[in-house]
Amino acid sequence: MNFIRRTLLAAACVASLAPALAQAQDIKPRLIRFGYGLNEQSNQGRAAKVFADEVAKRSGGKMKVRAIGAAALGPDTQMQQALIGGAQEMMVGSTATLVGITKEMALWDTPFLFNNVKEADAVLDGPIGRKVMDKLEEKGLVGLVYWENGFRNLTNSKRPVAKMEDLNGVKLRVMQNNVYLDSFKLLGANAVPLPFSELFSALETNTVDGQENPYNTILSSKFYEVQKYLSITNHVYSPWIVTVSKKWWDGLSKDEQKVLRDAAIASRDFERKDTREEAAKALADLKAKGMQINELPPAEAARMRDKLTRVNASIGTTVGMDLWNETQAELAKLRGG
Ligand code: TK8
């Protein structure tokens, strides 16, 4: 008798506790507009969907992410302003377009900063990546995680680029960022800053001859339809960053913020894996689509690298020498130096 009573009591306790626990989570119905620049079929689009699913799952369906791609909410720079003003909740975009807001982001524009994705993950997810991300807060943005855009490579419609001089007179679209502008001017190209959303039509109408982006983007944005030559330069590793409007974020409960942080980490882990799998196959896909692909001879790659070290000095000044030196020291450590 005693045993049965105790069992019933325990069962009743558990039953009354379960809803109490769910309610203990301070989560309100929320609609989150999450903007991005690439199309739904891209690695960015796939990861945005994973983020939306993770937020729904972790909030018991109360927080709803509406992922809006193809720059339908505007190019990166416009969305950043919407986040700062509180008119949009979230976005993912290039760190390069944030440099005008937070100069420390220029660190990630350093040509040849990372030798491989292992180094990129270690620095971006470590204290240096965190420090740079936290700088956004004084400007009205909260950074959650870095996604992988990837190592950037050069395409154009004029000729294969096998040496620096081949860039002479090539009208090359670059991101809206001085490091990119200076880098490609130094290499001899006629660099033109343009938002990504205008890039396909600029290539199609020959307003520009070329551009540079990771294989994944060349594939998902169908640049192969309007670009003949792909030169493997891997000149810089480009991250994306998931950001939140600080105005909006500050009004969320701790539980709601945790849902977004955890979902962002899950989306990052999915995104990097997915991006790397796609990148590993992309070159063959691009070849099959008719692109002519060439590698730079090592001596030419070294010449470009040397030329670009001039940009490094100005990046150091822009981001601050302390941050620059800390990054170099961290990389030396990672490389076993
Ligand atoms: C997408 C961009 C893109 C970037 C660029 O919005 O602009 O070339 O590589 O990924 O952020």
Determine whether the shortest distance from the Cβ of 94 to ligand 1 is under 6 A.
Answer: yes
Return all residues near 210 (Cβ < 8 A) that are at least 6 apart: 154, 155, 156, 157, 158, 170, 171, 172, 173, 189, 203, 227
E strands, the chain, in order: 30-35, 63-68, 90-94, 141-151, 153-156, 171-174, 190-193, 210-213, 229-232, 237-245, 292-295
- Domain boundaries of the chain, sorted by first residue: 27-148+239-283, 153-236+284-334
Give the per-residue pLDDT at 94. Answer: 98
Residue nearest to atom 7 of ligand 1 (CA): 196
Q: Indicate if the pLDDT at residue 9 is higher than 90.
A: no
CA-based max dimension of the chain: 93
Cα 202 to averaged position of ligand 1 atoms, centre (Å): 15
Give the per-residue pLDDT at 309. Answer: 86
For 153-236+284-334, which CATH superfamily applies? Bacterial extracellular solute-binding protein, family 7 (3.40.190.170)
In tens, the pLDDT along 201-256 reads 999 999 999 999 999 999 999 999 999 999 999 999 999 999 999 999 999 999 99
Determine whether the shortest distance from the Cβ of 195 to ligand 1 is under 6 A.
Answer: no
Per-residue tokens: 74: 């505007």
Rounded distance, CA 204 to CA 95, Å?
Answer: 26
Give the per-residue pLDDT at 7. Answer: 53
Least confident of 18-22, 163-167, 235-239, 330-334: 18-22
Cα 162 to averaged position of ligand 1 atoms, centre (Å): 24
Task: Indicate the CATH number for domain 27-148+239-283.
Answer: 3.40.190.170
The pLDDT > 70 percentage for the chain reads 93
Give the per-residue pLDDT at 173. Answer: 98
**294 phi/psi in degrees, rounded to 5:** -135, 150
In tens, the pLDDT along 140-183 reads 999 999 999 999 999 999 999 999 999 999 999 999 999 999 99
In tens, the pLDDT along 297-328 reads 999 999 999 998 889 999 999 999 999 999 99
Matching fold, domains 27-148+239-283 and 153-236+284-334? yes
